[in-house]
A and B are shown apart, each in its own frame.
Chain A
Amino acid sequence: MADTAHNQQSQLGTRHLLGIKDLTRDDIELIFHTAASFKHVLNRPIKKVPSLKDITVANLFFENSTRTRISFELAEKRLSADVVNFSASSSSLKKGETLLDTVNNILSMKVDMVVMRHPAPGAPHFLARHIDAHIINAGDGTHEHPTQALLDAFSMREKLGDLAGKHVAIIGDILHSRVALSNILCLQKLGARVRVCGPPTLIPKHIGSLGVEVSYDLRDTLRWCDVANVLRIQLERQDIQYFPSLREYSQYFGINRQILDALDKPILIMHPGPINRGVEITSDVADSEHSIILEQVENGLAVRMAILYLLAGRREA
């Protein structure tokens, strides 16, 4: 029968996007399939569709963000949703209001979806238990950052095809990184092999229990991998000194042109931003033909549109 040849899943299995942990492989495939169509829309002269014109989204950013906040806001606007923005610095939070009170107040204004970034791990999960709107986690402390992992995997797939059996290295500050955990979970669901690499002080002790390889040798890791996802050194999250100096870090774990040229095959270089140029990667690597950093940003918009669209269109059983 040609007319129903593919039995494609038509909706997500979850009503919130709290973490990659809650997604199935089919959910991820559905998000990628939908994101590909949104990428087409983003390359049209008119980059807007009317799908979410009856939806209001609140972007609650309790922690600083430029790229993710703009990406979400643009994604919402391109779907014709109404958008309200809130950032911690200008809020009543400083006057002592609790998270739940803040959010309930916003929801009384009839908001359908909440995109939230919060410094406390689990904050969006807490919210999901107490309120009715769809919640999208835009980063909760050092826990998860699911949309970043999805856009990273989507970008890898665009370049490499099926990720099954591909080698992906996550390099740098794994300990403080929500991007690392979400990436590991997402890549494993897609069948890739994952290795983390960085100074021992910045690699969580029991990370091997997630089924990832651990290496402290940058050159060996780069020889092993097809993709190097380089993370930022998060100085703002480090309350103690994890390494002697930035200069020493960049000598052991910084990627420069020389190291890449010495490899026998080209590898993809990714970075979730913002880049500390000259620390984790040098400028000539960040701007080289190996780097897909700006494509990640473009894909981020398409992937976020797909997630908003799919969650808003979900039917409750």
Chain B
Amino acid sequence: MTDSTAHGRIIMDERRLSLTLERLCHQLVEKHGEFENTCLIALQPRGVMLGERLYRRLEHITGGLHPPYGKLDFSLYRDDYRTRARPIPVQPTVLDFLVGPQSIDGRKVILIDDVLYTGRTVAAALRTLYDYGRPARVELLVLIDRRFNRELPIHCDYVGMRVDALDEAYVRVVWATAPESGRVLLYPDRKAAENDLHQQQQQND
């Protein structure tokens, strides 16, 4: 495995990613114990890929604990729905642990996303969450925190890795089809990331 692709640099390889997921799970257990009143909610679409891997690892570490887990789509609450260059398709929200009139009232919620950048995603997710009730507490877990690029006063509680990069840089978390393996790449800009993805897709075809 090389430490870079055609256009990007690998800042977290498979081994490091696996260790990081393990650490994040332990941090969650340390803080939430048996998860009596805590639920995990991954953000669609990319947070879900992290969320599912994290959840399996958590089940393994805790010896079969099944905290409530769901997926949240915030597209209907985006602040750039009508202004961004390309619309994003709506994804399903699945919160099966909320049955009947039960709401998120009084629960502790851990939101999961892959990269925390401007904070606008998380802000939209919070607006979405509030239409399901009034959580007692909301925490945020991210794999990558680009801490110097925030546009809103949003912070995270569990961090896989802090990345200090220029505004135009682009961080992509790439998950492999094999469970729990993947890596994180840093590109000089979004275009480089797209070129790289395009090339890899061509190789796969």
Residues of A within 8 A of B (CB): 1-4, 8-11, 30, 33-34, 36-37, 40-41, 44-46, 48-51, 54, 309, 312-315
Contact = CB atoms under 8 A, between A and B. Distances in A.
B95 to A, nearest CB: 9
A3 B173 contact: yes
Interface of B: 46, 49, 73, 76-77, 81-82, 85-93, 101, 103, 127, 131-133, 172-177, 197, 200-201, 204
Contact of A51 (B81, B173, B201): B81
Contacts of B88: 10
A312 B83 CA distance: 11
- The dominant DSSP class at the A interface is loop
Contacts of A309: 76, 90
Nearest to B194: A4
Contacts of B89: 8-10, 30, 33-34
> Which 4 A-B pairs have CB atoms at the shortest separation, nearest pair first?
A49-B76, A46-B131, A2-B175, A37-B90
Grouping DSSP codes into helix (H, G, I), strand (E, B) and loop, the B interface class, with mixed when no group exceeds half, is loop
Nearest to B200: A1
Given A3-B49, A4-B201, A10-B86, 13 more contacts: A1-B174, A1-B197, A2-B177, A3-B174, A10-B89, A36-B92, A37-B76, A37-B93, A48-B131, A314-B87, A315-B85, A315-B86, A315-B87
Contacts of A51: 76-77, 81
Given A2-B175, A4-B197, A10-B89, A49 B49 contact: no
Nearest to A5: B177
B176 A2 contact: yes
Nearest to B78: A51
A44 B197 CA distance: 38
A34 B87 contact: no
14 contacts: A1-B174, A3-B174, A8-B89, A9-B89, A30-B89, A37-B73, A37-B93, A45-B101, A46-B132, A49-B77, A309-B76, A313-B82, A314-B87, A315-B87
A314 B84 CA distance: 10
A49 B131 contact: yes
Contacts of B93: 37, 40
Contacts of B173: 3
Question: Which residue, of A2, A9, A30, A48, has the highest number of chain B Cβ atoms within 10 A?
Answer: A2
A8 B90 CA distance: 10
A2 B49 CA distance: 9
A36 B133 CA distance: 21
Contacts of B85: 315
Contacts of B200: 1
Contact of A50 (B127, B197, B204): B127
Contact of B82 (A10, A30, A41, A312): A312
A25 to B, nearest CB: 16
B132 A50 contact: no
Contacts of B177: 2
A30 B91 CA distance: 11
Nearest to B45: A3
Contacts of A313: 81-82, 87
B131 A44 contact: yes
B130 to A, nearest CB: 8
Interface core residue of A3, A33, A34, A54 (most chain B CB under 10 Å): A3
A40 B98 CA distance: 12
Contacts of A50: 76-77, 127
B137 to A, nearest CB: 20
A11 B90 contact: no
Nearest to A310: B87
Contacts of A10: 86-89
Contacts of A49: 76-77, 131
Contacts of B133: 45
A3 B90 contact: no
